[in-house]
Amino acid sequence: MSLKRMMTTSTSSWKSFGGLKNWELIILSWTSRVFLNFYNLVQIASDFTKKEKSRWSSGCKVIASCFVDNVTSKEDLSQVVAHMQSTGADILKIVTNANDITELEKMFHLLSHCQVPLIAYSLGERGLISQLLGPKFGSVLVYGSLDCNAVPGLPTLGSLRQAYGVDFMDTDTKVFGLISKPVGHSKGPILHNPTFRHVGYNGIYVPMFVDDLKEFFRVYSSPDFAGFSVGIPYKEAVVSFCDEVDPLAKSIGAVNTIIQRPCDGKLIGYNTDCEASITAIEDALKVNGAAFLPSPLAGKLFVLVGAGGAGRALAFGAKSRRAQIMIFDIDFDRAKALAAAVSGEALPFENLASFQPEKGAILANATPIGMHPNKDRIPVSEATLKDYLVVFDAVYTPRKTTLLKDAEAAGAITVSGVEMFLRQAIGQFHLFTGSKAPEEFMREIVMAKF
């Protein structure tokens, strides 16, 4: 353990999300990598405070800050807090590394039970929700980087206020989040959070980088965590962690939305991807004048690339519209299993480059191919795009993928994954809140921000 730094700084207008202002700050900061000699550093900070305090103005506040990267229990953290209190600081600050999102529950517990003003959060992508949810659990301050000088792993002040609305958070705020790996691409927070505020619902939606589903659901079982979206690669695997699964989601074998039922805490799984994706394709055909009795997809060849969670939703949606389904997936066994479930056909993924569809077919990409940062790839041969009537891409980052650009140039009707994202989010909002979603408001956000 070594003394990282001791420094003083002052400001005449310190603005915090906790409502504190007009402070002069004295910051005592050190790094702790082992507990050996920890007490010596606490004593140094304590002696420094006692010696110098008489020289500071009456409005001065002292923050004792410690970075610790080897705390393994709530008891360890409580011990650190207890000894930091002896410095005489007005506010304590503890920062840790996060190797798993489940470790953050210790920080939330510490914040909720600490009897002194405390700032506590973890670093890294897995630690992000500790920085976003601090105000809910009692953190005195929330840290953000300047929008013009973003710091990796730290949310910007603009996103804290606009996307996450941390100014409006309190202990009753319900937490919703996207369970995914990776999670940084998600646009969910910039859609769900403003919508919550628009209708006056006390909720926040955050990205959750999850490595272990079993541990995640074991740790985050309190009513505070009211619901989840589910993304790559967990839409199928998460089914086994639900206590109940809606019949549509059960038939699909994939869940993209989970609600913790308030009356008994059980996890209920749903799938809003299916209707979102299929109606987006249908509506694109209707707008372009195609016949749609009973569905514009009836009898058409539906070429699906990807047999994962999103692919399963598309396949079952296409089956419900009586389309002829052809499936390609890098895992041929998975493609065959899905094809059998929807009375379709599967072909090896390597055949996709040379596959020649019939004229007027529908192409749906349900793989990450074309997603940022690998934006230049497309899943099929460019030469075959002229034979597709409609091309749908579940990827929505970027909004107009290379596949959609090439398909548009070839004369196909294109449907962006943004449309699917919007429609599934509308369904999720209803499940999250129990209220009808403000669809026009949500569409305006998507059109402006995505």
Is 29's pLDDT higher than 70? no
Give the residue, 4 or 426, on which the prediction is more confident.
426
Cα–Cα distance, 131 to 133 (Å, whole number)? 6
Relative orientation angle of helices 273-287 and 309-320, to the nearest 10 degrees: 50
Burial label for 339, CB within 10 Å (0-12, 13-18, 19+), is buried
Give the pLDDT band (50/70/90) at residue 177: very high
**Alpha helices (H) along 53-161:** 74-85, 104-113, 128-132, 134-137, 157-158
The pLDDT of residue 10 is 29
Does residue 30 sit in helix, strand or coil?
strand
The pLDDT of residue 380 is 96
Give the residue, 46 or 268, on which the prediction is more confident.
268
Of 38-47, 342-351, 360-369, the least confident: 38-47
Of 97-101, 215-219, 238-242, the least confident: 97-101
Task: Look up residue 327 and give its two tokens.
Answer: 């499936």
- Interval 301-322: pLDDT, tens: 999 999 999 999 999 999 999 9
The CA-atom distances, in angstroms, between 265 and each of 180, 202, 227 are 22, 19, 11
The pLDDT of residue 71 is 65
Which CATH number applies to 274-415?
3.40.50.720
Relative orientation angle of helices 417-433 and 439-449, to the nearest 10 degrees: 140
Give the residue, 131 or 87, on which the prediction is more confident.
131
Give the residue, 143 or 33, on which the prediction is more confident.
143
Give the pLDDT band (50/70/90) at residue 19: very low
Contact 344, 321 (CB under 8 A): no
Of 106, 235, 300, 319, catalytic? 235
The pLDDT of residue 14 is 33
**What mean pLDDT, rounded, does the chain reach?**
88
Is 394's pLDDT higher than 90? yes
- Interval 58-116: pLDDT, tens: 677 788 888 887 667 899 889 889 888 888 888 999 999 889 999 999 999 999 999 99
Give the pLDDT band (50/70/90) at residue 149: confident
Q: What is the mean pLDDT of residues 318-339?
A: 98
Is 23's pLDDT higher than 70? no
Burial label for 286, CB within 10 Å (0-12, 13-18, 19+), is middle
Give the pLDDT band (50/70/90) at residue 1: very low
Contacts of 13 (CB under 8 A, 6+ apart): 21, 22
The pLDDT of residue 222 is 96
The pLDDT of residue 258 is 98
Q: What is the mean pLDDT of residues 390-410?
A: 95
Cα three-residue angle 134-214-223, rounded to 5 degrees: 45
Kind plus residue range of the DSSP H or E element containing 3: strand 2-10
Burial label for 184, CB within 10 Å (0-12, 13-18, 19+), is exposed
Does residue 424 sit in helix, strand or coil?
helix
The pLDDT of residue 289 is 58
* DSSP 8-class letter at 162: I
Give the residue, 25 or 447, on which the prediction is more confident.
447
Cα–Cα distance, 174 to 369 (Å, whole number)? 34
Give the pLDDT band (50/70/90) at residue 5: very low
Give the pLDDT band (50/70/90) at residue 27: low
- CA atoms within a 13 Å half-sphere pointing along the CA-CB vector of 40: 9
Burial label for 302, CB within 10 Å (0-12, 13-18, 19+), is buried
The pLDDT of residue 290 is 53
Q: Where are the domains of the chain?
A: 274-415
Is 344's pLDDT higher than 70? yes
The CA-atom distances, in angstroms, between 3 and each of 46, 146, 178, 202, 307 are 13, 27, 38, 42, 54
Task: Look up residue 32 and give its two tokens.
Answer: 């702790």
For residue 319, the cross-strand partners are none
Q: What is the mean pLDDT of residues 216-223?
A: 97
Q: What is the mean pLDDT of residues 149-177?
A: 91
Give the pLDDT band (50/70/90) at residue 6: very low
Active-site annotation holds for 235: yes
Contact 89, 116 (CB under 8 A): no
Quick one: which of 251, 285, 286, 291 has its CA closest to 269? 251
- C-beta neighbour count of 119 within 10 angstroms: 21
The pLDDT of residue 294 is 81
